[in-house]
Amino acid sequence: STDERKLYDLIARRYLALFLPAAKYEQVAVTIEIGGERLYAKGRTMLDSGWRQAYEGDWDDASSNEDQEHDNQSAWNKDQRLPSLTQGEKFAVKRVMTRRDRTKPPARYTEATLLTQMEKHGLGTPATRADIIEKLVSSDTIERQGASLQPTGKGEQLIRLTSEQLRSPELTARWERELERIARGEARTSSFMNQIRDMTEQLVKEVKTSSAEYKPHNLTNRHCPECGSRLMERKSKRGTRLICSSKSCEYKRSDEKQLSNRRCPQCHKKMELKIGKAGKYVQCLACNITEKLEEGGGKARKHETRNLIKKYEKQESIGNSLGDLLKAAMAKQEEQ
C-alpha cells in the first residue's frame, strides 16, 4: 500500500544515513539592499551534504514547497538554507514577503548572568561581586522582579545624568587592574590617586555647569501632614514606607493600612485611619463613608491619664476599707 511504501522508504533512508559522514554547513548573515532599503537574512550555506544526501533534498528544504514555506515562515528562520553568495553580487528580486511583528528587547539580566558579565569584564572580585548587586538593590537602583533584575526609575535617571566615562564598565575594570598592579608592586599608589583626583575635579566642574536635575521617581500624590511636601514611597524588607521629600522635614510613616476602632455605620467593619491636610479622619472605602476625628485622634492626653489613675486609686482604697469594715462587723456578730 501507499502508507507501507512510505514507511519502508523512511526506514531505508534512515539506515543509509547512518553510514554517511556528518553534514557541514556555514552560518551566514546576509545584508541586501533593495530600493534603498536594507534587508537582513540569516541562514546556512551547505558545504558538505553528508548524511542529508540520503534524503535527496526532502530534508529541511523549505524552498521546494511554497506552502510549507508560508506555514513555517522559513524565510525568517535562522536555520533556513541559503544559496552560496559573494560580497557585491547582484541579482533580480522575484518576490518579497512581509510579516507583522514587534521588536523584542534583549533579555533581562538575572543574578547569574550579571555575575558572569561582571567576571568577563573584570568588575569586582569573586568576594565582592554579589555584594555589589545587593548594594544596588538596597540603594533602590535596581530591583528584583522574579528571577530578573530591572532598573528602577532612580537607576534610569542615574544612567542619563551620569557622564559616559563614569557609567562605562571599562573604567571600573581599568581601576581594578591598576589596583592589582599596585598590590604586586608594579605601580605607585600616589600616581593612581592623582589620576582619580584630576578626573574627579573635572567631573565636579561639569556637574556645576550642567542644567540636568534629578527628579525623585517615587513621588506619590499624598502630602506630608507637617510641611505639605509630597511624600516619597520607599520599599524595604519591613514593607513600604512614606517619607517626606523635603530635606528639612523628617516625617515618615508606614504605608500599611491602619485600622481604627471606629465602625462603619453601614457595614460595621473597622474603618481605615488616614491623615490629610485637615487632620486625622477615618474612611470606609467599600461604603464611601468618611468621618473626621476629633483633635487628639481619640487618645487620652497625659494629664487626663494621670487624673484617671488617681481617681480609680482612690475608689479602690475606699472600696477596700468598706470591705474590711463589713468583714469585721460580721465577724464580731458571729462571736456574740
pLDDT score at 112: 92
pLDDT score at 63: 39
More confident residue, 68 or 55: 55
- Which residue has cell 515562515? 73
Q: Which residues pair with 55 in a beta bridge?
A: none
Q: Which amino acid is at 89?
A: E
Looking at residue 99, what DSSP letter applies? Answer: -
Pick the closest to residue 271 from 288, 257, 283 (CA basis): 283
pLDDT in tens, 183-220: 999 989 999 999 999 999 998 888 888 888 777 777 88
Counting every residue written for the chain, the total comes to: 336
Helices and strands (DSSP H and E) totals, the chain:
9, 12
Q: What CA–CA distances, in Å, run from 120 to 127, 165, 256, 270?
A: 15, 19, 43, 57
CB-based contacts of 228, cutoff 8 Å, min separation 6? 277
pLDDT score at 309: 62
Pick the closest to residue 78 from 131, 42, 121 (CA basis): 42
Percent of the chain topping pLDDT 70: 76
Phi/psi at 250 (nearest 5 deg)? -110, 20
Grade residue 148 by pLDDT with cuts at 50, 70 and 90: very high
Residue 330 above 80 pLDDT? no
Is there a contact between 177 and 122 (Cβ–Cβ < 8 Å)?
Answer: yes
- Which residue has cell 477596700? 320
Is there a contact between 270 and 263 (Cβ–Cβ < 8 Å)?
Answer: yes
CB-based contacts of 12, cutoff 8 Å, min separation 6? none
Architecture of the domain whose range is 111-209: Orthogonal Bundle (1.10)
What's the rounded Cα separation, in Å, for the pair 166 and 158? 11
Is there a contact between 281 and 292 (Cβ–Cβ < 8 Å)?
Answer: yes
Q: Which residues pair with 241 in a beta bridge?
A: 234, 254
Whole-prediction pTM value? 0.46
Determine the average pLDDT of the residues in 97-116.
89
Tell me which H or E stretch contains 305: helix 302-335
What's the rounded Cα separation, in Å, for the pair 243 and 219? 9
- In angstroms, how far is CA 103 from the centroid of its own chain? 21
Is there a contact between 288 and 278 (Cβ–Cβ < 8 Å)?
Answer: no
Instruction: Indicate if the alpha-carbon torsion angle 276, 278, 279, 283 is positive or negative.
Output: negative
Computed over its alpha carbons, how large is the radius of gyration of the chain?
39
What's the rounded Cα separation, in Å, for the pair 93 and 224? 67
Segment of 66-70, 221-225, 306-310 carrying the highest mean pLDDT: 221-225
- Domain(s) labelled CATH 1.10.460.10 in the chain stretch across 111-209
Looking at residue 301, what DSSP letter applies? Answer: P
More confident residue, 306 or 319: 306
Mean pLDDT estimate for the chain: 78
Grade residue 52 by pLDDT with cuts at 50, 70 and 90: confident
Residue 256 above 80 pLDDT? no
User: Between the CA atoms of 320, 322, 325 and 329, what dihedral angle is there, to the nearest 10 degrees?
Assistant: -130
